Amino acid sequence: MAQLSDKVVAITGAASGIGRATAVLAAERGARIAAGDWDRAGLDELTKLAADRGWAMQTVQLDVADEAAVTGFIDGAIAEFGALHGLMTCAGITSPVPAIEMEPDEFRRILDVNLLGTFLCVRQAVRAMVRAGTPGSVVTVSSALALTGQRNGVHYAASKAGVIGLTKTFALEQGDSKIRFNNIAPGATESPLLRRTVSDEFLEAWAARAPLGRIGQPEDHATCACFLLSDDSSWITGQTFHVNGGSIMP
């Protein structure tokens, strides 16, 4: 079990889904958590849970596409906890629109959150770690759809493919800083975002085709993320982890 008792970890998209599951598991394993999300109600529930369980957790309403807000989020985590050792970028949105009907503004809206938002968060966290001379770990979240494409989701698939390229580039550039960068590419995973965009019939068919016979749960990804955020993965960087029940085997 990867322990995080000496780590300060910032997590975006922390109010629900994979981000929330990672915040909870990392806190259970001893990390101090800065949790950011646009969803204030979800953050309030997480704040209450942290208080009830005695976790060290700061929650911040955050628009990851806002550069000033991202700077405040990262700097605030360091001011609260004294350091930053890890970042996980889970914030993401989508909307179902056929590619030939999609307007440029809608394409940009999804990329602003999923790709630009990831870049801004990673860049700011890395700058802080480099200034402090702190070895660290960054975990980004893409999607199996980055490899397969997605009907009615050209913006989402493109943004998640971009996240993989972004992660590898940071790994190449920052090796000397002893900061590691890895990516998790989830398959179909139980979350509010998934339920808003696909039907129950689609999920049943997806699970039936998957070798392990089910869709994912947020906790499936949280365990992988906590391993990557811990020192147990100290010689792993620039990799994409396909956590998908075997549904895609690249």
End-to-end CA distance of the chain: 27
Indicate whether 35 pLDDT > 80.
yes
- Domain 8-241 falls under CATH 3.40.50.720: yes
Place of tokens 């994912």: 216
* CA distances, 65 to each of 92, 95, 123, 202 (Å): 11, 17, 13, 31
Nearest 5 degrees, angle CA 247-CA 248-CA 249? 120
**Which one is catalytic: 156, 170, 227, 241?**
156
Residue 156 a catalytic site member? yes
Helix (H) or strand (E) holding 58: strand 57-61
The C-alpha atoms of residue 176 and residue 230 are separated, in whole angstroms, by 19
Given a contact cutoff of 8 angstroms between Cβ atoms, the answer to whether 32 and 7 are in contact is yes
At 200 the pLDDT is 80
Collapse the DSSP code of 222 into the 3-class scheme (helix H, G, I; strand E, B; otherwise coil) and give the result. Answer: helix
pLDDT tens across 43-99, in order?
Answer: 999 999 999 999 999 999 999 999 999 999 999 999 999 999 999 999 999 999 999
Phi first, then psi, for residue 239 (nearest 5°) are -110, 155
Alpha helix segments (H runs only) across the chain: 17-28, 40-53, 67-81, 104-111, 117-132, 145-148, 154-173, 192-197, 200-209, 218-229
What average pLDDT does range 164-188 have in this prediction? 97
Mean pLDDT confidence for 109-119: 98
Q: What is the three-class DSSP state of 182?
A: strand
Residue 30 DSSP SS3:
coil
Place of tokens 């957790």: 57
Q: At residue 198, does pLDDT exceed 80? A: no
pLDDT at 202 over 90: no
Q: With cut-offs at 50, 70 and 90, classify the pLDDT of residue 164.
A: very high
Q: Six-digit token pair at 107? A: 């394409």
Query: Is the model's pTM score more than 0.75?
Result: yes
Which residues fall within 8 angstroms of residue 51, CB to CB, at 6 or more apart? none
Q: What pLDDT does residue 208 have?
A: 86
